[in-house]
């Protein structure tokens, strides 16, 4: 098989559903005149290369080998480390099914150099382990591991040594990112050929640690295939956000109206409006409760603020290029009347917060709209529980588009952007510091601003999610995650929405945080 398996922390933009990966591997082997065993061998070499790079002090490595091809990768690694002079202890799971041919061949390779060296799951472990390799279960796991395996996984999670997961942490659903019972908590994960959705969304980021990818020498073939799912990172921002023309003026940058802010909720609407300004909107008009007008003008005089009435709303809708509605709006008759008028417009719009809650009560379907629900709002829209949304976030996002049209942004760890006619996207940006009030209001403003600057709906949604999450990563890099505020993220937007500027903070290409 041609090519050297490159190991990279810079993630590719391709991601494939788990039920398509076996077919993808077969296609790549046929195209590249290779075999599944060659892929297994290159996986072992890639693992060894990562160990030399990240865990170079390893003197004694314990490898948990399952009975499938993931275990085969582990046996190849065991052989390579042994040949390099590293002490290796293999813990071999008991067979319940016949071992695949490639994995049997890899086990025979190890048995030839270390006969009778493998431990059974009941044997005690050595005390001087520097690194644990998780090669128990791969992407084919569909149900909770057996009791014996879960006991092994608990031992791993209690052990102080770092853990390197092979392809995916054992016990994690590779499609949804949800735990299937006990999951091994990896320090690092090296995944092969392409990203798996479960590593990017749901609980996947919490279990996979630092994420690395090895292309197994096949990167030259992947661009010719169309990935059903795209992985978005900050490196995508320049394609959406070019530098402005020297002759640009505020009228070119979009006239935005943001509607919301019931009495006592000026904060939400201020965050959306200010985020729109920081994301490059030319003019931002706020329609809100009259009690919010002077506080908003005092806090951010660049906003144009007026009382929300039927007359002001009709005039603003006629004036605006883009409409956003919902932040802090409530569900009173005042809010319902505003939404009724907005529904009549054919202009691009963003619905968030209480606009989504009212949509759940009175559903409709339209294509000129971006929806921005968190899992609770998505559950109300779909008539299911939050747990059901989180159990399969990709499916939930697709269902939102099927039912309500337009573009759906399902927020959370690994935010998903879905639109019926293009590939679904997962954004690998952001961090747990964003678990505080007002972050969704900021995202609404960013999406609205990008729509006003001429991006198509799905591109505006993708760019906004990535810019928003990247800005939060910059905050975390400077100040840490705990105590992060929505206004802190707005401050960093001026960096993330200018990706072509010569700025050291932007050009840090490393994943700032994996969690």
In tens, the pLDDT along 443-489 reads: 999 999 999 999 999 999 999 999 999 999 999 999 999 999 999 99
437 assigned binding-site residue: no
Rounded Cα distance between 482 and 253, Å, is 34
Is 357 annotated as ligand-binding?
Answer: no
309 annotated as a binding-site residue: no
pLDDT at 4: 52
The residue written with tokens 């591109």 in the block is 459
State yes or no: 391 annotated in a binding site: no
Q: Is 134 known to sit in a ligand binding site?
A: yes
Alpha helices in 55-161 (DSSP H): 69-83, 101-113, 147-158
Helix axes 354-361, 375-382, angle to 10 degrees: 10
pLDDT at residue number 219: 72
Are 7-227 and 250-465 in the same CATH fold?
A: no
**Could you report the per-residue pLDDT of 341-359, keeping only the tens digit for each?**
999 999 999 999 999 999 9
Residue 177 marked ligand-binding: no
Return the CATH number of the domain spanning residue range 250-465. Answer: 3.40.1190.20
**For the chain, domain boundaries:** 7-227, 250-465
Residue 461, annotated as binding a ligand: no
Residue 274 has pLDDT above 90, yes or no: yes
Separation CA 105–CA 111 (nearest Å): 10
The fold for domain 7-227 equals: Rossmann fold (3.40.50)
d(CA 66, CA 90): 10
> Do residues 503 and 482 lie in contact, with contact meaning Cβ atoms separated by under 8 Å?
no
Query: Is the distance from CB of 55 to CB of 84 less than 8 angstroms?
Result: no
Residue 66: CB partners within 8 Å, gap ≥ 6? 74, 93, 135, 136, 137, 138, 149, 170
Structure token digits, residue 19? 């039920």
Instruction: Please tell me whether 70 is known to bind a ligand.
Output: yes
Residue 179 CB coordination number (10 Å): 17
Give pLDDT tens digits for 115-151: 767 788 888 999 999 999 999 999 999 899 988 899 9
Lookup: tokens for 48: 């060894």
Residue 502 annotated as lining a ligand binding site? no
Tens-place pLDDT, residues 384-439: 999 999 999 999 999 999 999 999 999 999 999 999 888 899 999 999 999 999 99
Question: In terms of Cα–Cα distance, which of 253, 246, 320 is closest to 287?
Answer: 320
Is 384 labelled as part of a ligand binding site?
no
Residues 7 and 43: beta-carbon distance below 8 Å: no
Residue 441 labeled ligand binder: yes
Ramachandran bin of 280, using left for φ above 0, alpha for ψ from -120 to 50, beta for the remaining angles: left
């Amino acid at each position: 098989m041609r090519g050297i398996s490159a190991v990279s922390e810079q993630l590719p933009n391709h991601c494939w559903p788990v039920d398509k990966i076996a077919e993808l591997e077969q296609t790549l082997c046929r195209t590249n005149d290779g075999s599944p065993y060659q892929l297994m061998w290159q996986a072992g070499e890639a693992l060894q290369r990562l160990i030399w790079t990240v865990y170079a002090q390893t003197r004694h490595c314990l490898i948990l080998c399952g009975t499938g091809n993931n275990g085969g990768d582990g046996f190849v690694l065991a052989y390579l480390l042994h040949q390099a002079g590293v002490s290796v202890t293999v813990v071999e799971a008991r067979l319940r099914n016949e071992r695949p041919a490639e994995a049997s061949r890899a086990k025979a390779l190890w048995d030839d150099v270390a006969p009778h060296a493998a431990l059974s799951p009941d044997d005690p472990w050595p005390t001087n382990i520097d690194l644990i390799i998780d090669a128990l279960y791969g992407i084919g796991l569909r149900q909770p591991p057996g009791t014996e395996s879960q006991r092994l996984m608990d031992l791993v999670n209690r052990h102080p040594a770092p853990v390197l997961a092979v392809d995916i942490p054992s016990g994690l659903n590779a499609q949804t990112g949800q735990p299937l019972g006990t999951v091994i908590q990896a320090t690092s994960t090296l995944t092969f050929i392409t990203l798996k959705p479960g590593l990017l969304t749901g609980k996947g980021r919490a279990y996979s640690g630092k994420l690395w990818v090895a292309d197994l020498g096949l990167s030259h073939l992947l661009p010719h295939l169309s990935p059903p799912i795209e992985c978005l990172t900050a490196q995508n921002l320049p394609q959406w956000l070019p530098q402005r023309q020297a002759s640009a003026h505020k009228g070119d940058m979009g006239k935005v109206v943001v509607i919301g802010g019931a009495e006592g909720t000026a904060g939400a609407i201020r965050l959306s409006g200010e985020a729109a300004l920081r994301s490059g909107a030319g003019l931002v008009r706020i329609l809100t409760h009259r009690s919010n007008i002077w506080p908003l003008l005092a806090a951010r005089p660049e906003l144009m603020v007026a009382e929300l009435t039927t007359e002001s709303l009709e005039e603003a809708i006629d004036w605006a290029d883009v409409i956003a509605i919902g932040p802090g709006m409530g569900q009173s008759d005042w809010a319902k009347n505003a939404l009724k008028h907005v529904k009549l417009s054919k202009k691009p719009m963003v619905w968030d917060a209480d606009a989504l809650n009212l949509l759940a009560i009175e559903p409709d379907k339209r294509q000129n709209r971006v929806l921005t629900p968190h899992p609770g709002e998505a559950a109300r829209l779909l008539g299911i529980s939050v747990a059901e949304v989180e159990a399969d976030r990709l499916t939930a996002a697709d269902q939102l588009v099927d039912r309500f049209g337009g573009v759906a942004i399902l927020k959370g760890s690994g935010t998903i952007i879905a639109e019926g006619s293009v590939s679904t996207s997962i954004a690998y940006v952001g961090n747990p510091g964003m678990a505080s009030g007002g972050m969704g209001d900021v995202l609404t403003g960013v999406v609205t601003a990008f729509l006003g600057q001429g991006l198509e709906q799905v591109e505006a949604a993708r760019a906004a999610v990535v810019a928003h999450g990247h800005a939060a990563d910059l905050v975390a890099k400077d100040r840490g995650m705990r105590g992060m505020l929505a206004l802190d993220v707005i401050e960093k937007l001026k960096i993330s929405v200018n990706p072509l500027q010569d700025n050291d903070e932007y050009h840090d290409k490393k994943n700032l945080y994996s969690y």
